[in-house]
Amino acid sequence: MTKYKKPELLAPAGSLEKLKIAFQYGADAVYFGGQSFSLRAAAQNFSYEEMAEGVKIAKEYGKKMYCTVNIMPRNSDLEKLAEHLKKLEEVGIDAVLVSDLGVFSLVQKYTKLPIHISTQANTVNYEACNMWHKMGAERVVLGRECSLKDIIEVRENIPEDLELEVFVHGAMCISYSGRCLLSSYMAGRDSNRGACAQSCRWKYSLVEEKRPNEYFPIEEDQYGTYIMNSKDLCMIEHIPELMQAGISSLKIEGRNKSEYYVAIVVNAYRKAIDLYYADPENYKLPKYLLDEMYKVAHRRYHTGFFFNEPMEEGLIYDTNNHVREYDVVALVLDYDKETGLATCRQRNKFVKGDIVEILSPEITGEPFTVDELYREDGELIEGCPHPGMICKVKVPFALERNSFIRKELI
């Protein structure tokens, strides 16, 4: 039995809709960005009105919301940043994530908001954690470079009331906790201000300066090579080790990813964590939960730095594409218990006779055959070919709003 209390499951929320889905599928808290000062400029992000709505939803369900203010600001950002922080406090969020000492100072100067130290601060030792705590931080998000041994050692050498947050799933960055200038040099897009072009995922060859148009593969391989293309992190097979390390919050990466990604990953980790705490001595990860990790678009998985310093086995050399074995064909908007019809918004083409599966907070991977399919007006149809069309599907079990219907790609 672990001596630590059950950790928070922290999900990404790139939009208000993703926030709702994260809470519905079992997240205890979400992290999100405003429309400025966040390191995910490409995400939809939140207006102040959407933040207020999110706070209302969170409080209703006893959940929490953390706003990322983790850019490395320039002088020109500071005045607007102070106003942004005051607004965040007015809205009622639960904490801000910061990585810059100047931002830390502004938070304390203008608000009483709790402060979490972002992974961008590169905190990888207990002395740094203790210093942040002394300055007033409530939580530190450790750098992805920390091993499980490092995390345990940090926990043993910091105050009990200082929380530790650790990434357990999602994309990994080849740079040191995300601090990188590659994108700035190659694409004019500053990764430290939220505009990373992911230059590390590009395909590279060698060019000799006197032969500018001749490209030589760095490895002899018909695909070329991607020398900085990290595998995705996946720690769902190591729930017991995570539970026993004294981590306060298990964090899922992915504010730029889809609603389905948020649902499937949060759902799997939620169920795995709850199963462990129900019976720690006899816990074993059910196969169907591990299988779920392969039913969402992903790069090949790895355990990052948790158990060893990843070398060549932590990179993907032959492609920068995601592995995708399933398509979401529809999102459930409503379900009529009397007729058994689910009103859906189509995402990808599906037809009568297809074998599909359900993902909902209560149902994971349950298959059924599409026997009856209707237009929104009730007309019987053979298939749903038009993106975004509203249709009705006969489903043999009751569903919640925001359930997903998916189909295996053959």
Strands 163-170 and 249-252, how do they pair?
parallel
Structure tokens at 242: 């995570």
Superfamily name and number for 8-175+230-314: Aldolase class I (3.20.20.70)
Q: What pLDDT, in 10s, does the model give residues 12-44? A: 999 999 999 999 999 999 999 998 776 555 556
pLDDT the model gives residue 220: 42
Q: Which CATH number describes the domain made up of 326-408?
A: 2.40.30.10
Residues 6+ apart with CB under 8 A from 321: none
pLDDT beyond 80 at 195:
no
Q: Which long-range contacts (CB under 8 A, 24 or more apart) does 42-47 make?
A: 42/194, 42/195, 42/256, 43/14, 43/15, 43/255, 43/256, 44/14, 44/15, 45/14, 45/15, 46/15, 46/16
From 231, 203, 200, 202, select the one nearest 217 (Cα to Cα): 203
> Which residues of the chain does CATH 3.20.20.70 include?
8-175+230-314
Q: Which pLDDT tens digit goes with each residue over 88-109?
A: 999 999 999 999 999 999 999 9
Q: Which of 204, 196, 286 is nearest to 239 (CA)?
A: 286
Token look-up 């705590």 returns 133
According to CATH, where is 2.40.30.10 located in the chain? 326-408
On the question of pLDDT at 239 being above 70, the answer is yes
pLDDT in tens, 214-232: 776 665 455 556 667 788 8
Provide the whole-model pTM. 0.89
Q: Which amino acid is at 36?
A: S
d(CA 244, CA 250): 12
